[in-house]
């Protein structure tokens, strides 16, 4: 299998996985609604950065530790579940605070793009299932004459490009509907729904197994 063929096959698989709704999509969508499209793009960039780092770790064999070591996997999944639960509870609590959504939106937008990027990359790196996914997938798309490190960089970059394109569609669609989405009722409902969904993802991570 040539490198070009491996990349094409991986791109098709990654594209299907990208459009399946997950906690990354929920986080980007909620950020676009409450913090604006600029912060949402920063969050998406953070998520994709984490994807590339997981791919490199998988190529170097680091993520294999997650599958082989119950302690390492448990430590990472507990940290990831706690972080996700904290994000979820913060959204839910914010939705019950008195005041208009306009006031909340202004205060939230004071957060920097850097903080949004950190939120995205933290969410990605604290999800052990991403590491296990790459550990399982990348070896299947490694041509015999290709460098594992090179493919560990190339394949996650392909996935990240597809992810950013998907996130861009979500963010731009949300941007065009921002007036309706940022109304008091809709914004509070969005925070609560996103919070509940993220709590469900946190529980899923906490109860997940390496294999």
pLDDT digits (tens, 9 = 90+) for 142-172: 777 777 778 778 888 998 999 999 999 989 8
Q: pTM value?
A: 0.67
Tokens describing residue 160: 């990240």
Nearest to 6 by CA among 139, 100, 187, 179: 139
How many angstroms from the chain centroid is the CA of residue 192? 19
Instruction: Give the per-residue pLDDT at 61.
Output: 67
| Pairwise CA distance, residues 139 & 158, whole Å | 16
Q: Given the structure tokens 């560990």, which residue do they identify?
A: 152
Choice among 48-57, 69-78, 94-103, 185-194 with the minimum mean pLDDT: 94-103
Supply the pLDDT for residue 73. Answer: 65
Domain positions in the chain are 3-11+22-206
Q: What is residue 3's predicted lDDT score, i.e. its pLDDT?
A: 81
Helix, strand, coil shares of the chain as percentages rounded to 5?
Answer: 85, 0, 15
Of the pLDDT bands very low, low, confident and very high (cuts 50, 70, 90), residue 34 is confident
Q: Do residues 211 and 67 lie in contact, with contact meaning Cβ atoms separated by under 8 Å?
A: yes
Evaluate if residue 4 carries a pLDDT over 80: yes
Are 123 and 47 in contact by the 8 Å Cβ rule? The answer is: yes
94-150 residue pLDDT tens? 778 765 444 444 344 445 888 899 989 998 888 777 776 777 667 667 777 777 778
Question: How high is the pLDDT of residue 31?
Answer: 86
């Amino acid at each position: 299998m040539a490198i070009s063929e491996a990349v094409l096959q991986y791109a098709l698989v990654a594209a299907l996985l990208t459009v399946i709704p997950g906690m990354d999509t929920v986080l980007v969508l909620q950020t676009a609604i409450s913090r604006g499209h600029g912060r949402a793009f920063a969050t998406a960039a953070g998520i994709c950065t984490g994807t590339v780092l997981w791919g490199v770790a998988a190529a170097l064999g680091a993520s294999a530790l997650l599958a082989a070591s119950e302690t390492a996997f448990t430590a990472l999944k507990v940290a990831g579940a706690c972080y996700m639960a904290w994000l979820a509870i913060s959204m839910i609590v914010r939705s019950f605070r008195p005041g208009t959504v306009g006031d909340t939106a202004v205060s939230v937008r004071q957060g920097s793009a850097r903080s949004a990027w950190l939120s995205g990359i933290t969410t990605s790196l604290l999800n052990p299932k991403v590491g296990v996914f790459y550990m399982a997938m990348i070896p299947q798309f490694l041509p015999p004459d290709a460098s594992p490190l090179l493919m560990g960089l190339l394949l996650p970059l392909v996935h990240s490009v597809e992810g950013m394109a998907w996130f861009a569609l979500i963010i731009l669609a949300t941007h065009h509907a921002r007036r309706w989405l940022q109304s008091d009722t809709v914004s509070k409902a969005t925070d609560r729904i996103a919070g509940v969904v993220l709590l469900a993802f946190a529980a899923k991570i906490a109860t997940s197994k390496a294999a």
